[in-house]
Structure 1
Amino acid sequence: MYDIIIVGGGSAGSVLAHRLSARSANKVLLCEAGQDTPPGNEPPEIRDSYSGLAYFDPRFHWTELKVTTQIVSHNNPDESRPPLRKYEQARVLGGGSSINGQMANRGAPTDYAEWEARGAAGWNWKDVLPYFKKVERDLDFDGPLHGKDGRIPVRRISHQHWTGHSQAVGEACKLAGYAFLPDQNGEFVDGYFPVTHSNQGEQRVSAAMGYLDRETRKRANLTISTNAQVKELLFEGTQCIGVKALVDGREQAFRGREVILSCGAIHSPAHLLRAGIGPVGHLKEMGIPVLMGLAGVGQGLMDHPSIALSSFVRRGARMNAHTRRHIQMGLRYSSGLPGTPAGDMFVAVLTKSAWHSVGEQIASLLTFVNKTYSETGQVKLASTDPRAEPIVQFNLLSDRRDLDRLMSGFRKMAALQMSAPLKAVTDKPFPASYSDRVRKIGVVNTKNKILTAIAATLMDGPAALRHAMIDNFIVEGFTFEQVMRDDEALEAFVRKAAIGVWHASCSCRMGRADDPMAVVDTQGRVKGVQGLRVVDASIFPVVPCANTNFPVLMAAEKIADAMQ
């Protein structure tokens, strides 16, 4: 019998396991479906400062998960269905923090004012800042906005160590009138900056590395069970009393006083739905007895819609020996669209687009809507079988303002791309699509390594050959010239190519007791049932203007504190 069972050993689960087991009276079980990352013996792809290897390694993914990102028409079911895309969701201890881009940002104070306005009382900026500080150990800055004692080190790569490509983008930003910000997590204003990342000594520090270290693992009251996939939540009436899991292929039941779902914004709502907690119509359609009718479960799924403008990088401006970090700088800017807050857009500057030889020659300006208004996504069950992945529809660009800002953002990046500093170090800009073809060549294997090595040698050859290869093998559908002179072509490209940036969130939102779409209260407790919480990105009332990993760590710290 456990006091607390945590389902999912990702960013939130790692924090909760560490904090809740710090009280010796709590007997804590952490169940993670994926493999362990033992301290000092983590897979080298996970430790790597460059995230492109872990990110595309199927050993660390839910390999069957596929999603739609384009708008699904519910009024006209005969309309052509948008394509299903593979969605890289982590299945490994540390979760997303073990494979992500290691970006460590928090969002805008206005984000958390909106959380409170939407019913998450006690989650405004002044309430969450202490927990952001509690997470981090900032190796570069101190002062009232920074933590110095947290379990996740954060740092920046200084301007003089940037690649030639990143320096050229910085120069182009300066010419365009943007201010240089030494500290992205200082005042939330527009400008370009060295990105803050969760990394020390040129190695990733995941939530598992930071929170489930050797000392934590020695605690007699903490059990970490990896390769343990939870199939079912167990109930007596409306009281959650434990879980049923497959541990190394063998079914076991575990009883607990309290169960916490920390499986992310796709799998946490799926667990609730299979348990009979969710929209009554969908549960009846699936033949699942209704335990608790909660209309918001699986609804309001969000991500940050993004597009990329890529280009060939000339030899001297590619990755250098100083770091394997391929995202060294970023740009935050205000679209100026009426009604949008400042800093509503973000650009991540990638000097290297993939792990392979061609990826080392392609740089990208990845532009995403930091403050998105598209919140009609949903997670539904395809089957009651716990092994079946749910139906996931992000419905990106369901709000016209997101489409408009990605179109204007592409033009803005094109202007930077055509400025003198960037023209000097790049060639052949093109609108990039994260297509199935790109995905297939991105899988880490020997065949792709050999193919891309041959292609890269040719790309470094004559310009005419390089341009032909980019047009025939990389560009899909639209050329740079087309989208720059034809607004309809640009809109078609954005609609087709826009994808999320793996910031799935908001599908089990926090809110007031009288809000029919709220799923949990401000401590993650599921409405109407006992002994069950959700603590992960699914409880966000709205996705913040940030990569979601640090907001998840903050939320887990805050709720763990409330549970002590």
Structure 2
Amino acid sequence: MDYSHIIVGGGSAGSVLANRLSARSANRVLLLEAGQDTPPGQVPKEIEDTYPGTAYFDPRFHWTKLKVRTQVVSHNNPDAAPPPLRKYEQARVLGGGSSINGQMANRGAPTDFDEWEARGAAGWNWDGVLPFFKKVEHDLDFADEWHGREGHITVTRIPAERWCDHTKAAGEAFRLAGFKYLPDQNGRFEDGYFPVTASIDGRKRVSAAVGYLNAQVRARENLTISTETQVSGLLFEGNRCVGVSAMVKGQPREFRGAEVILSSGAIHSPAILLRNGIGPVGHLREMGIEVRSALPGVGQRLMDHPSISLSSFIRRPARLTDAHSRRHILLGLRYSSGLPETPKGDMFVAVASKSAWHAVGQQVASLLAFVNKTYSEAGQVRLASTDWQEEPVVEFNLLSDRRDLDRLMSGFRMLAAMQLSAPLAAVTTDPFPAAYSDKVRAIGVVNERNRWLTKAVAALLDGPPALRSWIIDRYVVEGFTFRQVMEDEEALEAFIRKATIGVWHASCSCRMGRDDDPMAVVDNQGRVRGMEGLRVVDASIFPVVPCANTNFPVLMTAEKIADTMLAGG
């Protein structure tokens, strides 16, 4: 059977495209997803939960072999030891990241999208993208010029009366520091603190699969959804892509279509292009791959938001319970660093009043700061092997721009001042610089061993203060104490360099741009340069990562390109 459109990847972008393109009865649409299905009435409870910490750590929903390097990799010093590899929780399930992420439904700054257009993505300025952000959402709280009420993704905010005392104390600390309260973070873009907008309906997560691939859409005769299906290669006739080869539940298949759309994310979409001879000539020849199209930008300039965390022990009465909310991040802060030539709102703080699903996680709060407007654009995705089953080499090279390091250092000092302010000092104790280490990941896996282990440790932490402080210093702190990083600038910089991670916002590895930009991979409609019948539509085509969690910008991007395609583009 031939299809009009074959979509490779059933994540956020793929779910949108499958819905919109199949709405035209003349189209025959095939959606391929490597992970499992989440059909109506059978969505796993971990995915439905408005607390994302269980789905996020569940290996059933991950590319379990994917590991990345976040620290800067020196390719000029072959004798230098490479930075450590870190597990990367890339979603492998229908709905993609929207099925396991933190449900943060924000958009970015208007200046982000004006920069997109300035970098060569014609028509992608703020005025060009706002209608598609509005088209995505069904906002339960606001109906104004900034918001949509008819979209497939329900969004809402947890009101302050349902915040625990820790969240309320953080809000009061922000207020006393001079920040303005904003009832809506997706309204006018300005500095201030706000209840975070979440892609939930108040009771459950609303993933892209739940919102865009409901029972009515699935009933369309012209839409086929094939899960547990991993694409092994692209099929070509000359410079035209005419289909894909795939493994469907372990069986090889070929699917042919008029157009193939890669929506596999900023790590796997460039890897697919590279394996099929589309990318930098030097790397392709090094791997023994015949060059089909010389595009030096494929896999290059990978981006994410560098982040750091300051954690603390929450006194018992101030903790978040299910009676307040299942969600752990209820409050956010957007602020301006004041660094020369950076736009307003270039920094973001998320207040997590619970750090994990288990007993110790309920006792630990975190102030998570990330560089909203990052200048580190030196990441890359390369092949480790020509074998389609092997994960690529992924180097984010966070903090490759000194401005990001400087802002995280100043941001950490600001977080420390907030942590020591009267409101937060009244509800927390024992602040410590936190690292998202392999030990933290291991204890975050949902199993009975971790459940009982953390219960035992939590009982000790609720014991005498001296014992709690000793346990935190001995078993929780990893190399740097709060006092060290506050009193020693070199220790603070060393901690930031070691502990900075991304926030799972991989993007920009197949960028949109002008025809005269040698690093542009696709045009402003996602069409791969020099090829026919092949597009990329996901976060990899962002010209630069916006000042936002990337899920809503991905949904917007897919809506905008689907609209163009249906109009004949």
Same fold (TM over 0.5): yes
Deviation at 1:236, TM superposition (A): 1.1
Q: Distance in 1 between matches of 2:21 and 2:472?
A: 52
Structure 1 position 415 matched with structure 2 position 445: no
2:359 and 2:217 mapped to 1: Cα distance? 40
Structure 1 match to 2:491: 489
> Does the 8 A contact of 1:202 with 1:324 survive in 2?
no
- Give the equivalent residue in structure 2 for 1:292: 293
Task: Write out aligned runs for 1:254-333 (5 A).
Answer: 254-320=255-321, 321-333=323-335
Q: Pick the aligned partner of 1:380 from 382, 390, 393.
A: 382
Residue 77 in structure 1 maps to residue 78 in structure 2: yes
Are the equivalent residues in 2 in contact too, given 1:234–1:242 (CA < 8 A)?
A: yes
Q: Is the 8 A contact 2:302 2:507 kept in 1?
A: yes
CA distance in 2, matches of 1:153, 1:69: 33
SS in 2 for 1:205: coil
Partner amino acid, structure 1, of 2:525: Q
> 1:172-211 residue pairs with structure 2 within 5 A?
172-211=173-212
Equivalents in 2 of 1:515, 1:478: separation in Å?
44
Q: Which deviations, in whole Å up to 9, do the C-alpha atoms of 1:203-242 show, x marking residues without a partner?
A: 1000000000000000000000000011111111111010
Find the residue that maps to 1:155 and give its secondary structure.
Answer: strand
Deviations 1:123-144 (A, max 9, x none): 0000000000000010000111
SS in structure 2 of the partner of residue 199 of structure 1? coil
* CA displacement at 1:414 relative to structure 2: 0.2
Q: Is the 8 A contact 1:265 1:504 kept in 2?
A: yes
User: What is the distance in 2 between the residues matched to 1:164 and 1:274?
Assistant: 52
**TM (normalized to structure 1)?**
1.00
Contact 2:73 2:83 (8 Å CA) reproduced: yes
Q: Is the 8 A contact 2:156 2:202 kept in 1?
A: no
Structure 2: 5+ residue runs without aligned partners?
none
Q: Name the structure 2 match of 1:215.
A: 216
Letter in 2 for 1:335: S
Q: Distance in 2 between matches of 1:260 and 1:317?
A: 48
Q: Deviations over 1:399-451 (max 9, x none)?
A: 00000000000000000000000000001000000011111111111111111
Contact 1:308–1:365, Cα closer than 8 Å, also in 2: yes
Q: Identify which of 471, 482, 500 aligns with 1:498.
A: 500
One-letter code aligned to 1:435: S
* 2:124 maps to 1:123: yes
- Distance in 2, matches of 1:463 and 1:21, equals 61
CA distance in 2, matches of 1:78, 1:113: 42
| Partner of residue 393, structure 1 | 395
* Deviating 4+ runs (over 2 angstroms): none
1:43 aligns to 2:44 (yes or no): yes
Deviation digits for residues 25-56 of structure 1 (CA, Å, limit 9, x no counterpart): 00000000000001121000000000000000
Residues 1:15 and 2:16 aligned together? yes
Residue 322 of structure 1 and its aligned partner are, at CA, apart by: 2.8
For the residues of structure 2 that align with 1:15 and 1:241, how far apart are their CA atoms? Answer: 22
Partner of 1:449: 451
Which TM-score applies when normalising by structure 2? 0.99
Per-residue CA shift, 1:376-403, capped at 9, x if unaligned? 0000000000000000000000000000
2: distance between equivalents of 1:50 and 1:77?
43
Measure, in 1, the Cα distance between the counterparts of 2:446 and 2:416. 31
Q: Report the Cα distance in structure 2 between the residues aligned to 1:434 and 1:511, rounded to whole angstroms.
A: 35
Give how far 1:148 is off. 0.6
For residues 36-89 of structure 1, what are the alpha-carbon distances to aligned partners after superposition, in whole Å with 9 as ceiling and x for unaligned? 001121000000000000000000000000000000011112111100000000
Amino acid across the alignment from 1:110? T
What is the identity, as a one-letter code, of the residue corresponding to 2:160?
H
| Distance (whole Å) between structure 2 residues aligned to residue 77 and residue 393 of structure 1 | 16
Task: Indicate the SS of the match to 2:18.
Answer: helix
Report % sequence identity.
74
Amino acid across the alignment from 1:30: L
Gaps of 5+ in 1: none
Number of residues of Structure 1 aligned to a counterpart in Structure 2: 564
Q: How much does 1:472 deviate?
A: 1.2
Whether the aligned pair in 2 keeps the contact of 1:98 and 1:206 (CA below 8 Å) is yes
Rounded Cα–Cα distance in structure 1 between residues aligned with 2:148 and 2:340: 35
What is the DSSP-based 3-state SS (H/G/I as helix, E as strand, rest coil) of the residue aligned with 1:204? coil
Q: Give me the whole-angstrom Cα distance separating, in 2, the residues matched to 1:29 and 1:297.
A: 25
Contact 1:300 / 1:377 at 8 angstroms: preserved in 2?
A: yes
Match of 2:518 in 1: 516
* Contact 2:381–2:393 (8 Å) recurs in 1: yes
In 2, the alpha carbon distance for the partners of 1:334 and 1:516 equals: 33
Report 1:356-375 matches (<5 A). Answer: 356-375=358-377
- In 2, the alpha carbon distance for the partners of 1:448 and 1:405 equals 36
| 3-state secondary structure, aligned to 1:428 | strand
